[in-house]
Structure 1
Amino acid sequence: MTTTWAPPSRNLSALACATPDPGPAVEVHVPAEPLSTPVGKTAELTCSYSTSVTDTFVLEWSFVQPGKPISESHPILYFTSGHLYPTGSMAKRASLLQNPPTAGVATLKLTDVRPSDTGTYLCHVNNPPDFYTNGLGLINLTVLVPPSSPLCSQTGQISVGGSAALRCSSSEGAPRPVYNWARLGSSPTPSAGSMMQDEVSGQLILSNLSLASSGTYRCVATNQMGSASCELTLSVTDPSKGRVAGAVIGALLGVLFLSIAAFCLIRFQKDRRKRPTETYGGSDLREDAMAPGLSEQIPVRADSSSGLLERPPSASTVSTTKAKLPMVV
């Protein structure tokens, strides 16, 4: 006779009861909507939880900048063993509205908020042996900042028929400002077809410029905290008028040069005619004066009869001889 062995039967319900109880869950509740606080004011970030607080209860608030993962968060404060420990760059401005935070509420109070406080805040409750959930709540905070004074600039070919790009940008402002351009004064605004505006980037494109496009343009940066503006003067030039003006100026300079040359020539001719000439009258000649162009050297002539060289009598000799002759009455 063959005997068959069979394993004892198991009570599955008993095994199920033997499974360890995971314990109560730590539930953290935070606002679902993002929070916003004006710069310089106080922000209150509400965090509540449900658990049976024990001696191992730990609360931690931390902060992570926008666009970065939670793993790069920085601690703001701790509560453990009945003591509160602020830490990090916000230590002097961060506190808890409920201290100690053991009654189910752990709201963070942050004074004198700054633009750098914009980001995600983490409320983390740890209460062993309550490990059923991670006990984490996330709150997004935006610090509202009015727009700073924008900077206006222009680029492009600022001449008739060309195009210009006017730009406007604020270095600060949260939420991000929107930009609107407008032309000042009573002059007509350029037609919609020649003007294209981007409120996000703050750029205004003016195409097919004319002289009527010249004027002062104002850009206004606006968000829910306020507005700021800057102005820019656009001066459209006409190259054709510049060429005509250059030709006219060149012609005028040519005429002026010729006039000066003619005046100088006429003046020279008049001065030449007025220049005095030297004249010699017979009554002005002295007895011993030499005729112009003659040398003072007295010529010597030869006497053919005596073979001697004979000097002609001088004027003084002739005068003396004439004085010695007797007068005949």
Structure 2
Amino acid sequence: MGITAGSWLVLLGSLHWLINLSSALLEVHVEQKSVTAVQGQGITLLVWYSSSSEDKPYITWYIQRAQTEQVQILKYIDGEIDVASDFKDRLSFAHQMPAKDISIIINRTQATDSGQYRCYVNVRNDNSVGSGNIGVINVSIQVPPSKPTCQIHGNSYIGANVTLSCKSSSGDPVPNYSWIKKASVNVVYFPPALDSVKGTLTLTNLTSDNTGTYVCTSKNIAGVAECNITMEVTSSSRTAIIVGAVVGTIVGLCCLALLCAVLVYLYRREIKESQDEVENDIKEDAPAPKTLTWTKGNESDLVFKNGTLSSVNSNRDHKPYPSKSPSDTTSINTAAGSNVGYNPPPYMGDRGRVTTPTPSLSSQSLPSYMAAPNGNYYSTAVPSNRSALPKTNGVDHPAPRKELNIASGVTPSNLVRMGAVPVMVPAQSQAGSLV
């Protein structure tokens, strides 16, 4: 059975359709599946697509960092380009859009730029099979190690053990560490003294030869960084001296500070006490009154002046009584405190009577005496009936005084020798004033 001409025409048409269909399929092409760069450098991710359609494409770029979801970083649609904030001024298309070469450029790369980049392309009036419209590139940004920090752990004296440590705060991939000692011929250390991962160098049983400068090198494929430290190995006695000096200095400073505090406290207390003393001081506005120095009579302890009662301190030398007779207004108690023979002053009418205290009698009592104006002793009986005395203008006249009979052996000198003390008793004059 042969094939007719019509059958050949149908077969040729089907082949033509299949050829056109295969050439019209959308497909994204990637030149490198992975890209490695050092931090700070620029990279280019080469990507293009093929399609029979001449329409403008719709392009989006995403990044998926480790353990995170993908994030859109670049978008192109209808002539508009939108860039993510963390890639602002660092990310752009390599060619003017629209174009089938959709490669991108990343400048001033950072450690956070590491991740998986995905490019999605869609074109109108064109289709893709499976994931043909997606391009994937893995990017790794390597970070050089930062300048490491060198430290000494332990006391560097003879016979002791110390550990030198070295550590970089950043670096991707993780750097390795090595130690050398600078000398005319550098000394290189290896395990087990050296731990290249932790960056430690352990030195045991130190000697004076261990004194010197040690250099640590932190290195990865992105770069190298170094630090150094100087160690001086001393004897234990010298170390003790240094420690003692430091401790003594600290103690001395503390004592000095304490002494200063005590001095300040004492100074302030002294100032406060002096202020209190000034405030509590009694200031006298005028001098104290002076004792009146009236003129005394010869060998007399009692003085009467201007009709007022005045007393002068008796002389403690117990001088004998004066030759003159005492005043009428004076009474004397004996050493035994007796006033036998003494009669009270006369009744003074409405103005009352002036009396003296009556001491207790003693078995050895002496009569009191009363001196007359002329110095002679006399005795006068007092009338028993005072009311019978005549009155003048309604005023009672004073009764005559009774004369005292003093024994011949009792004299003023004897009274003084016996310890009698003269006492001044106020009395009234005829005018009614105290004398």
239 and 46 in structure 1: CA distance in 2 versus 1, 3 angstrom threshold:
same
State the percentage of identical aligned residues.
27
2:194 match: secondary structure:
strand
- By how many angstroms is 1:183 displaced? 0.5
- Corresponding position: 1:42 with 2:38: no
207 and 133 in structure 1: CA distance in 2 versus 1, 3 angstrom threshold:
farther
68 and 137 in structure 1: CA distance in 2 versus 1, 3 angstrom threshold:
farther
- Corresponding position: 1:184 with 2:185: no
Which residue number in structure 1 is paired with residue 117 of structure 2? 121
- Corresponding position: 1:171 with 2:169: yes
- By how many angstroms is 1:90 displaced? 0.6
123 and 192 in structure 1: CA distance in 2 versus 1, 3 angstrom threshold:
closer
Root mean square deviation of aligned Cα: 3.7
131 and 163 in structure 1: CA distance in 2 versus 1, 3 angstrom threshold:
farther
- By how many angstroms is 1:217 displaced? 0.7
1:89 match: secondary structure:
helix
- By how many angstroms is 1:110 displaced? 1.5
Match of 2:94 among 94, 97, 101: 97
- By how many angstroms is 1:152 displaced? 0.6
Match of 1:233 among 227, 230, 249: 230
Read off the aligned partner of 1:147 and give its amino acid letter: P
102 and 242 in structure 1: CA distance in 2 versus 1, 3 angstrom threshold:
closer
Match of 1:76 among 64, 73, 77: 73
1:148 match: secondary structure:
coil
Which blocks of at least 5 consecutive residues in structure 1 are unaligned?
A: 1-20, 247-329
Which residue number in structure 1 is paired with residue 135 of structure 2? 137
- Corresponding position: 1:31 with 2:32: yes
1: CA distance, partners of 2:240 / 2:175: 44
1:116 match: secondary structure:
helix
- By how many angstroms is 1:205 displaced? 2.4
- By how many angstroms is 1:78 displaced? 0.7
Q: Deviations over 1:183-205 (max 9, x none)?
A: 12348849868x62233332222
Structure 1 contact 221–229 (Cα < 8 Å) conserved: yes
210 and 52 in structure 1: CA distance in 2 versus 1, 3 angstrom threshold:
farther
Which residue number in structure 2 is paired with residue 276 of structure 1? none
- By how many angstroms is 1:220 displaced? 1.9
Which blocks of at least 5 consecutive residues in structure 2 are unaligned?
A: 1-20, 244-435
Q: Deviations over 1:94-115 (max 9, x none)?
A: 1101232542x21111223233
Read off the aligned partner of 1:204 and give its amino acid letter: L
2: CA distance, partners of 1:192 / 1:76: 47
- Corresponding position: 1:111 with 2:107: yes
Read off the aligned partner of 1:83 and give its amino acid letter: E
2: CA distance, partners of 1:115 / 1:191: 32
Which residue number in structure 2 is paired with residue 148 of structure 1? 146
Structure 1 contact 55–81 (Cα < 8 Å) conserved: no
More strand by share: 1
37 and 217 in structure 1: CA distance in 2 versus 1, 3 angstrom threshold:
closer
Which is greater in Rg?
2
Which residue number in structure 1 is paired with residue 85 of structure 2? 88
Structure 1 contact 77–91 (Cα < 8 Å) conserved: no
Structure 1 contact 27–51 (Cα < 8 Å) conserved: no
Read off the aligned partner of 1:213 and give its amino acid letter: N
2:96 match: secondary structure:
coil
- Kindly tell me the number of residue pairs found equivalent between the two proteins: 220
